[in-house]
Structure 1
Amino acid sequence: MKHLKLILSMALVALTTQLFAQTNKETTIKIIDEKDYTFVANSAIPMSNMDISQILSRMPGSQGGGVINLTGSQYDFRVTKDSVVAYLPYYGRSFSAPMNPNEGGIKFTSKDFSYKESKNKKGAYTIQINTKDVKRENFRLTLSVTENGYASLVASGYNKQPITFNGYLSESKKKDQ
C-alpha cells in the first residue's frame, strides 16, 4: 500500500508539472541563448537521510518519498546576463545556520558568477552556475533543461547538503520603467 501511494503521488507530480510548462522549444532556446529566464520551482527533493525523512513526512505539502510540493508558491531562480537571483526554500542538513531566521533557505543576489552552458544531442541543456560573491555561502547550481522548458535545479553549497528542485523555465517578466 505504501508503494502504491508513492507511485500515485509521483505520477501526480509528473502530471501537474506538465500542466505548468510555460515555454515551447523555440522560446526555450531563445531565453537560454539570451540568458534571461526564470526557473519556477514546483517541488523540492532534499538529499535523503533518516532524520530528514522523518521530519519531512510530518510537513504540510509533503507527498511522501521526500518530495515537497511547492506548486503555487513564489519560489524561483532568475538568471540575467549580469545577475543571478535565488529565492528558494531549503530542506536538509545545514552545517551552519543564520542568526536571523528570515535569512534561511537559498536566498541571494549574485553579480559575480561563472556561467557554463552545454547542449546534448537530444537538445537538452545543462547549465552550470557558480556564485563568487554571496556573503554567507557561495553556491554551485546545475540547471538541466529539456527542449520544452521542463527543468531540474540542483543547488549545493559548502555548508549545506545538496537539494534538487523540479519545475519549469519561463520568460523573465520585464519591469516597466
Structure 2
Amino acid sequence: MKTIKSILVLATLLFAMQVNAQTDKETTIKIINNQNYVFNASSALPMSSYEVSKVLSRMPGGGGGGTIQLSGSQYQLIVTKDSVESYLPYYGRAYTATIGVNPDESGIKFKSKKFTYKADKKKKGSWLITMNFKDTKDVQSMTLNVSENGYATLNVNSNNRQPITFNGYMSEPKEKKQK
C-alpha cells in the first residue's frame, strides 16, 4: 500500500512539473539561438562524499546527502552573447582554502566576458551547450543540457572544487527597467 501511495505522489509531482513548464518549444529555440537566456536553478546535487553527506545530514530536512532544494531562491546563470554571469551556491569539497573571502561572495559567483560558447542541437530537440571560461578564478567550464520544453541540467567543473550539478529551467531575461 505504501508503494502505491509513493507512486501516486511521484506521478502527481511529475505531472505538475510538466504542466508548469517555464518555456514552450518555440521560446526555448529562440532564446538558445539568440544566446540570451537565464538558467534558474531549482535544486543542487553536490558530488557525494563523506564530508558533504555529514554536513547535509545536519541541515533541516537533510537526509545525509543527495538533492538540495533551492526553492524560493534567485540562483541563476545569465547568458548573453558578450557575457556570462553566475549567481549559484556551492555545496561540496574545496581543495584550497579561500581565506579572507566575504561569505556573501562564496559560491559560484562571477562575471565573464572572455569565454567560448558552443551550442549543439541533439536528437529529440534537446541542446548541449558548453562554455569554457578564460577570465574566472575558479570555474573552468559549464555544460548545460536543455530539453525542448525548457528544463535544464547544469554541470559546473572547477579548478579547486568538486564538480556540482544543478537542475532548473530556462527563461527569457527580464527587461531592465529604465529610469
TM-score (normalised: structure 2): 0.86
Partner of 2:140: 139
List structure 1 runs of 4+ shifted beyond 6 angstroms: 6-13
How high is the sequence identity, in percent, across the aligned residues?
56
Two-structure CA RMSD over aligned residues (Å): 2.6
Q: CA deviation at 1:73?
A: 0.5
Q: Which runs of 5+ in 1 are unaligned?
A: none
User: Which of the numbers 113, 116, 125 marks the counterpart of 2:115?
Assistant: 113
Q: Evaluate the alpha carbon distance shift between residue 49 and residue 138 of structure 1 in structure 2; reply closer, same or farther with a 3 A threshold.
A: closer
Q: Is the 2:56–2:63 contact (alpha carbons within 8 Å) kept by the matching residues of 1?
A: no
CA distance in structure 1 between the aligned counterparts of 2:91 and 2:36, rounded to whole angstroms: 27
- Pairs aligned (count): 173
Partner of 2:37: 37
CA distance in structure 2 between the aligned counterparts of 1:94 and 1:7, rounded to whole angstroms: 37
Q: CA deviation at 1:62?
A: 3.5
Q: Is the 2:52–2:65 contact (alpha carbons within 8 Å) kept by the matching residues of 1?
A: no
Q: Which runs of 5+ in 2 are unaligned?
A: none
TM-score (normalised: structure 1): 0.87
Q: Which structure has the larger Rg?
A: 2
Q: CA deviation at 1:53?
A: 1.1
SS of residue matched to 2:171 = strand
Q: 1:1-177 residue pairs with structure 2 within 5 A?
A: 14=14, 17-18=17-18, 20-60=20-60, 62=62, 65-98=65-98, 99-134=101-136, 136-177=137-178
CA offsets 1:43-62 (integer angstroms, 9 cap, x no match): 00000012211211221354
